[in-house]
Amino acid sequence: MSSRARRKQIWCVQPLTPLMEGPDFNMQNQEGSKKESSWEVIREWFRVQKSVPGSNNFSMSVYGNNISLAKRQDLRLLLGVLGCPLAPIPISNHPISHLHFKNIPIETSAANYIIQQYLAATGCSKKHNSAKNMYTSGVVKMIRCETEVSSGKSVRTLGSRSGENGCFVLWQMSPGMWSLELAVGGNKVLAGSDGKIVWRHTPWLGTHAAKGPQRPLRRIIQGLDPKSTARLFGKAECLGEKRIGEDDCFVLKVAADRDAVIERNEGSAEVIRHVLYGYFSQKSGLLIYMEDSHLTRVQSPDDTVYWETTIGSTIGDYVDVDGVLIAHQGRTIATVFRFGETTIQHSRTRMEEEWRIHDVVFNVPGLSMDSFIPPADIFDAENANTISP
């Protein structure tokens, strides 16, 4: 059954709420809870974490009596953070062959030179390598969370490490169209873009539209589509050099500008910054590591709380597919760091993902723009907002 056919069986009209870059810590499945602020739910998730056995100060009501509920909530956190995160900035529409080196800062010209070397190393600088679309399938293993809670005097570790296996299918078509299906531990996350709207669907939160500029899926730029990666770093600056494992690398940086992050604010949650660093091997010219950091400030009557999500991905096992080097294996480590302005207590949650690509196919017959049409409830919600006074 095709991806479009499956979608028709799944979609139903649900409230449309903004797509969060960080974790979706929704604790309930009822319709009423979907209307609750995402950041209120985040705070509730961390309150639940304090109920973990092993501390004299907290009850065992949640984790002691309902371990399956705790595991399900941890898996939702995993999928919310690692399932389908977006890059911080849109992909440039300018052809990558138009990168220039004159009359620009040395940091930018150096970055442009590194990107040209990257295109040559992956085989994308050859004229015949101009795929119109792409299909990718693979497997993932997501490792559940461990949370460290520090009170300033002591550190407690909550939760336990356990993994869930899954698989994903990704369809992509230029410009900016993609569709992802990710299934892990009995849960399926669907996401996509028609080049204008980015959306996501989870069983527990329904369908969401992303706020702010249209941005690419992070999975696409971590070695699957070198041309998209090059366009993303088209306006990067070179920060210098750094050693990653056994490789000396050039470090490139891109960041969302102030206007773009303001567009992504939601209620009391304010996006402060979102930056992405790419590490390109000086020896091979390939992208071997990528890290992005996303900082959000949440105002509350009691305190101002900051949430910093950092996702670092090791990228490797490049394989030639029709003349283009595609990364076929990687490992991602994400941390969600919570701290306040007036309290010394902070929490750090860690999660991991290992991924491997099984199949890559270019120029799939029959794939068209109709394959990337967003769910109907996206448009229903937009029309309702337009009609409402």
pLDDT tens figures, 138-166:
999 999 877 888 877 777 777 667 789 99
pLDDT over 70 percentage in the chain = 75
* Radius of gyration, alpha carbons of the chain: 21
Please report the pLDDT score of residue 125 as a whole number.
Answer: 82
Burial label, 97 (beta-carbon count in 10 A; 0-12, 13-18, 19+): exposed
Give residue-wise pLDDT tens across range 49-107.
555 444 434 444 444 445 666 677 788 888 989 999 999 999 887 766 555 556 677 77
Residue 100 CA from chain centroid, whole number: 30
pLDDT category of residue 129 using cuts at 50, 70 and 90: low
Burial label, 3 (beta-carbon count in 10 A; 0-12, 13-18, 19+): middle
pLDDT top residue among 240 and 25: 240
Distances (CA, A) of 112 to 137, 218, 231, 348: 31, 21, 10, 36
Q: What secondary structure, in 3-state letters, does the chain show?
A: CCHHHHHHHHCCCCCCEECCCCCCCCCCCCHHHHCCCHHHHHHHHHHHHCCCCCCCCCCCCCCCCCHHHHHHHHHHHHHHHHHCCECCCCCCCCCHHHCCCCCCCHHHHHHHHHHHHHHHHHCCCCCCCCCCEEEEEEEEEEEEEEEEEECCCCEEEECCCCEEEEEEEEEEECCCEEEEEEEECCEEEEEEEECCCEEEEECCCEEEECCCCCCCEHHHHHHHCHHHHHHHHHHCEEEEEEEECCEEEEEEEEECCHHHHHHCCECCEEEEEEEEEEEEECCCCCEEEEEEEEEEEEECCCCEEEEEEEEEEEEEEEEEECCEEEEEEEEEEEEEEEEECCCCCEEEEEEEEEEEEEEEEECCCCCCHHHHCCCHHHHHHHHHHHHCC
Least confident of 129-133, 277-281, 287-291, 314-318: 129-133
Q: What does the pLDDT average to over 102-130?
A: 83
Which residues touch 41 (CB under 8 Å, ≥6 apart)?
24, 25, 26, 27, 33
Please report the pLDDT score of residue 50 as a whole number.
Answer: 53
**Does the pLDDT at position 1 exceed 50?**
no
Please report the pLDDT score of residue 386 as a whole number.
Answer: 34
Please name which of 311, 314, 317, 315 lies closest in space to residue 274, comparing C-alpha atoms.
311
pLDDT top residue among 179 and 208: 179
Give residue-wise pLDDT tens across range 308-363.
999 999 999 999 999 999 999 999 999 999 888 777 778 889 999 999 999 999 99
pLDDT category of residue 23 using cuts at 50, 70 and 90: very low
Please state whether 366 falls in left (phi above 0), alpha (psi between -120 and 50) or beta.
left
Backbone angles phi, psi at 16, to 5 degrees: -95, 120
Average pLDDT, rounded, for the chain: 80
pLDDT category of residue 239 using cuts at 50, 70 and 90: very high
Please report the pLDDT score of residue 99 as a whole number.
Answer: 56
**Does the pLDDT at position 11 exceed 60?**
no
Sign, CA torsion 147/145/356/127:
negative
